């Protein structure tokens, strides 16, 4: 069977985090650099071997320029693709294509933010501009856009606030097993329901954390990755999709472009949802997990709420989701997408200690950007999947 | 490509300031779109015509944004499907901090102090 030439042609050979929760006074560029150097150590590479650079920061519009100056590298392929928090999964797709085309061979993808440490101080973040056709009415960004989607999902499918609370509780149960997670205290469905409202139907605990954090991964041509320190985690498939930026411009509030991004990734990877053993997804709000379980093909449309309420995604469940605690309980430094990949790599390598799930070969990572505006999917696998 | 005489966004705002809520209809495929555009987002035609909106619509999605009482208290934000086509973000007056029910039939008016389109529940309007 002739397959997609990108399937398994690249592998993630280094992955690292720094300063999840509180970066200890380091600024975003410093935190990003520490994560990058840790990823290089993880792979057993020197920075001089990096010839592709990808990134998307909130605090630096020309990120790869500033970062290459700061780190002291001169990449021959560079991209600041900025489609929101999913950017880093789109960077993987670009890196796959660039490596296949011979434009680079070892690529570094980084992110860093210290938004928690900066709270209350002047921030120079690059903030997205939103249309006055929305801002005239005072929606709180991004939460009200997701809240509108949740309201429609509840209306159409009977999804309840309790269902959404189960997403937050499952994330917290995983976080309790992850020493790196920021929020590890016990959490109940009643706690989530009792939290102060932010934008109905979301209370505070339906919303992701606001933390510091930095991450980095290194993706290399597969033959190079096989010579390095750690077991390669192969990129089997990737897909990116977007239609609209604003919630008011979306054709459907309950069926997102994740359907298309995942479909493209499954096609490239030659797998189906039945082959996927674990999901790492961008849970900016509790509705995300429910909507994505549906749009990524794991449950029929409308069944996501019941699926999470039945305990399937929590520790011990049939389909582990966000084993690091996700954006809801591990960390959410402004854009979370890269951390889905890092946790996927760590699980496939068996690095996850108390939260390790055994017997893994295939993990799906998924990022959303903006207000569910962009979707990017990566399917990762061990050597057994090639 | 027909270059419009004026920025569609400016044209829309000027009409609102004169008390008219108008939206664009595509002369080629009859799609109705909001917000204003240079070309039809369905078929690509730039033959767009401005027509008065009927002002009737249905609430498609709904949220109440929390806000401290001293800042004015909570308020609703909705998405309204316009009768002729197109969807817009807006506010339904008279609901306070209560969630506006999805499916509610609403009717547009121009809030003169803000020059924005807001909605009232249609049946309440008829009773009044």
pLDDT digits (tens, 9 = 90+) for A314-334: 999 999 999 999 999 999 999
Mean pLDDT, residues A362-366 taken together: 99
Q: How far apart are CA A133 and CA B116, in angstroms?
A: 9
Edge-first strand order for the sheet with A362-369 is A77-79, A52-55, A106-113, A212-221, A10-21, A233-242, A374-381, A362-369, A278-281
Q: How far apart are CA B9 and CA A210, in angstroms?
A: 36
Q: How far apart are CA A254 and CA A301, in angstroms?
A: 9
Following DSSP, what letter does each residue of A108-160 receive, concatenated? EEEEEE-HHHHTTS-----PPP--HHHHTT-PPTTHHHHHHHHHHHHHHH---
Q: Which residues, at least 6 apart from A250, have a Cβ–Cβ distance to it below 8 Å?
A: A243, A244, A256, A372, A373
* Domain that includes residue A248, residue range: 10-118+209-381
Q: Which residues, at least 6 apart from A61, have a Cβ–Cβ distance to it below 8 Å?
A: A80, A126
Q: What pLDDT does residue B125 have?
A: 46
A240 with A260: CB under 8 angstroms? no
Residue among A291, A290, A332, A329 at smallest CA distance from A312 = A290
Structure letter (DSSP) for residue A354: G
| Residue A203: inside a domain | no
Place of tokens 């085309």: A101
- Is residue B89 pLDDT above 70, yes or no? yes
Using alpha carbons only, what angle is made at residue A254 by residues A249 and A258, rounded to the nearest 5 degrees? 85
| Residue A108: inside a domain | yes
Find the CB nearest B35 among A131, A138, A253: A131
Residue among A186, A194, A197 at smallest CA distance from A162 = A194
Q: What pLDDT does residue A128 have?
A: 63
ipTM above 0.90, yes or no: yes
Using alpha carbons only, what angle is made at residue B106 by residues B100 and B111, rounded to the nearest 5 degrees? 95
Cβ <8 Å between A199 and B63:
yes
Token pair recorded at residue A304: 């996501």
How does the average pLDDT of chain A come out, rounded?
96
Cβ <8 Å between B63 and A136:
no
Mean pLDDT, residues A62-75 taken together: 97
Q: What pLDDT does residue A360 have?
A: 98
Closest CA of chain A from B120, distance in Å: 15
B128 pLDDT tier (thresholds 50, 70, 90) = very low
| Residue A197: inside a domain | no
Token pair recorded at residue A349: 């390598």
Percent of chain A with pLDDT over 90: 95
Q: Residue A281 sits in a domain of what CATH number?
A: 3.40.47.10
A136 touches B at CB < 8 Å: yes
A328 with A171: CB under 8 angstroms? yes
Residue A298 backbone dihedrals phi, psi, to 5 degrees: -85, -30
Best CATH choice for the domain B56-127 from the list 2.40.50, 3.30.40, 3.30.420, 2.40.30: 2.40.50
Cβ <8 Å between B75 and A133:
no
Question: pTM (2 decimals)?
Answer: 0.96
Residue among B102, B87, B81 at smallest CA distance from A201 = B102
Interface of A with B in 168-207 (CB under 8 A): 196-201
- What chain B residue is nearest to A131 in terms of C-alpha separation? B35
Give me the helices (H) in chain A, please: 28-43, 63-71, 87-100, 115-118, 132-135, 143-157, 161-175, 189-194, 222-225, 258-269, 286-295, 304-309, 326-329, 337-349
Q: Which residues of B touch A249 (CB under 8 A)?
A: 87
Q: How far apart are CA A168 and CA B57, in angstroms?
A: 35
B35-56 per-position pLDDT tens digit: 999 999 999 999 999 999 999 9
Report CA-CA distances (Å) from B16 to A228, B35, B67, B110.
Answer: 64, 13, 28, 7
Distance of alpha carbon A76 from the chain centroid:
26
CATH 2.40.50 in chain B, residues? 56-127
Q: What pLDDT does residue B96 have?
A: 79
Using alpha carbons only, what angle is made at residue A282 by residues A281 and A284, rounded to the nearest 5 degrees? 145
């Amino acid at each position: 069977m002739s397959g997609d030439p990108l399937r398994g042609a690249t592998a993630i050979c280094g992955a690292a985090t720094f300063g999840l929760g509180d970066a200890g006074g380091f600024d975003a560029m410093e935190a990003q650099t520490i994560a990058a150097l840790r990823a290089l150590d993880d792979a057993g590479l020197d920075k001089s071997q990096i010839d592709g650079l990808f990134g998307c920061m909130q605090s630096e519009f020309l990120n790869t320029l500033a970062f290459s100056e700061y780190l002291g590298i001169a990449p021959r392929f560079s991209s600041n693709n900025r489609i929101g928090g999913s950017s880093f999964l789109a960077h993987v797709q670009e890196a796959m294509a660039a490596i296949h085309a011979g434009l680079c061979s070892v690529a570094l993808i980084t992110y860093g933010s210290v938004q928690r440490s900066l709270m209350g101080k002047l921030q120079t973040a690059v903030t997205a501009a939103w249309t006055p056709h929305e801002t005239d009415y005072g929606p709180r960004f991004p939460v009200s856009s997701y809240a509108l989607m949740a309201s429609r999902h509840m209306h159409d499918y009977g999804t309840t606030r309790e269902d959404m609370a189960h997403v937050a509780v499952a994330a917290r149960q995983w976080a309790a097993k992850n020493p790196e997670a920021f929020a590890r205290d016990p959490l109940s469905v009643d706690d989530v329901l009792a939290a102060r409202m932010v934008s109905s139907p979301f209370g505070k605990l339906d919303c992701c954390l606001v933390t510091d954090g930095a991450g980095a991964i290194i993706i290399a041509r597969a033959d190079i990755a096989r010579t390095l320190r750690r077991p390669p985690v192969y990129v089997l498939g990737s897909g990116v999709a977007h239609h609209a930026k604003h919630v008011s411009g979306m054709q459907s509030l309950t069926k997102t472009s994740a359907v298309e991004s995942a479909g493209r990734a499954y096609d490239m990877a030659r797998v189906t949802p039945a082959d996927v053993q674990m999901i790492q997804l961008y849970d900016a709000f509790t509705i995300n997990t429910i909507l994505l379980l549906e749009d990524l093909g794991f449950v029929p449309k409308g069944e996501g709420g019941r699926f999470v309420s039945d305990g399937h995604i929590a520790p011990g469940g049939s389909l582990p989701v966000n084993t690091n605690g996700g954006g809801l309980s591990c960390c959410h430094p402004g854009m979370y997408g890269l951390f889905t990949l890092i946790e996927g790599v760590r699980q496939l390598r068996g690095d996850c200690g108390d939260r390790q799930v055994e017997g893994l070969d295939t993990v799906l990572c998924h990022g959303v950007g903006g207000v569910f505006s962009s979707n990017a999917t990566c399917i990762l696998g061990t050597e057994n999947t090639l | 490509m027909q270059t419009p005489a004026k920025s569609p966004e400016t044209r829309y705002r000027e009409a609102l300031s004169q008390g008219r809520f108008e939206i664009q209809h595509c002369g080629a495929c009859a799609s109705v779109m909001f917000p204003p555009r240079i070309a039809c987002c369905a078929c690509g035609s730039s033959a767009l015509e401005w027509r008065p909106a009927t002002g009737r619509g249905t609430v498609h999605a709904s949220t109440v944004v929390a806000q401290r009482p001293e800042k004015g208290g909570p308020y609703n934000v909705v998405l309204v499907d316009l009768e002729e086509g197109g969807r817009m973000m807006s506010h339904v007056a008279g609901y306070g901090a209560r969630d506006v029910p999805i499916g509610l039939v609403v009717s547009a008016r121009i809030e003169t102090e803000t020059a924005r389109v807001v909605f009232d529940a249609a049946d309440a309007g008829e009773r009044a």
